[in-house]
Amino acid sequence: MTDWPITFKCNNNCISCILTTTKNFDIPVPLDQIKNVINNIDEDDYFGVSGGEPTLRKEFFDILKYARKKHPNLYIFIVSNGRMFSYKSFTKKLVNLNLGNFMVAIALYGHNKQIHEKITRAENSFNQTVQGIKNLLLFNIPVEIRIVINKINYKFLPNIAEFIVNNFPNPQRVVFVNMKYTGNALKNKDKVFVKETDVVPFAEKAVDILLENNINTKLYHFPLCIIKKKYWNLAKGVTKDKRELCFVPQCKKCKLRDECPMIWKTYVDIAGKDEFKPIRG
């Protein structure tokens, strides 16, 4: 898994960011270093373009062109807040690259300005993110809409699902993500921490809304023991470096241990291990 930040600059200042940042915080990432990473990616891997906000890097399009030239068939995955894509001229530049095998993942934190911007702490970020998603879909660019869950938005997950159904035709998929607690998220844990078992009823209801509308949906970092069996196939499999994840002692007795997405180590550090129960039957 090759996820690489091409900039640490961002036009949001998310209270739940896994980095310790402030708005417009920036650490230079040398272009030569980025090219070296691209040069050494295995053909069966992928290139995850992240940040900060990668679209703020002045060489954003050049980096994508370089990656595609070096690896004609490599899967490219761009993680963005979507705001720059609210400008159609910017979106058209991405279209004109003809990248082929790629996707753009956009973080949507709420179904309205109040919730979304309470998390991003950036004025007008909600409207720009929504328009950015619409522009990408307008040009038939594959879009993953990802909802990173925290204390501020978890009770509104069904509302977010309804908003997606009503506003975004044919996203490639929608992903609900239980977050890890590093950076701003750890610093602000009193404001953003929520127990995963408290999230589950709202996440399951949101998933039902999306599936009923034929929208491909995934649950990331939801240990199988905390969700109903009907949702297991949406959550199975590890999606991050296992060094960031863990099992707790009772997991040794779980029959689905090998299929479980595991638990963020940083989550266990805060919440403990008691909410996780081995699946036996």
Please give the pLDDT value at position 27. Answer: 74
Please give the pLDDT value at position 2. Answer: 76
Please give the pLDDT value at position 198. Answer: 98
Quick one: pLDDT band at residue 1, thresholds 50, 70, 90?
low
**95-121: pLDDT as tens digits:** 999 999 999 999 999 999 999 999 999
**10-39: pLDDT as tens digits:** 999 999 999 886 655 667 789 999 999 999
CATH of 2-220, one of 3.30.470.10, 3.20.20.70, 3.10.580.10, 3.50.50.60: 3.20.20.70
Please give the pLDDT value at position 212. Answer: 98
Quick one: pLDDT band at residue 43, thresholds 50, 70, 90?
confident
**119-148: pLDDT as tens digits:** 999 999 999 999 999 999 999 999 999 999
Please give the pLDDT value at position 23. Answer: 55
**246-256: pLDDT as tens digits:** 999 999 999 99
Longest dimension (CA), the chain: 55
DSSP string, the chain: -EEEES----S---TT-SS---TT------HHHHHHHHHT--TTSEEEEESS-GGGSTTHHHHHHHHHHH-TT-EEEEEE-SGGGGSHHHHHHHHHT---SEEEEEE---SSHHHHHHHH--TTHHHHHHHHHHHHHHTT--EEEEEEE-TTTGGGHHHHHHHHHHH-SS-SEEEEEEPP--HHHHHTHHHH---HHHHHHHHHHHHHHHHHTT--EEEES--GGGS-GGGHHHH-S--S-GGGEE--GGGGG-TTGGG---EEHHHHHHH-STT------
**196-243: pLDDT as tens digits:** 999 999 999 999 999 999 999 999 999 999 999 999 999 999 988 889
Q: Domain map of the chain by residue range?
A: 2-220
Please give the pLDDT value at position 44. Answer: 86
Please give the pLDDT value at position 111. Answer: 98
**56-97: pLDDT as tens digits:** 999 999 999 999 999 999 999 999 999 999 999 999 999 999
**144-160: pLDDT as tens digits:** 999 999 999 999 999 99
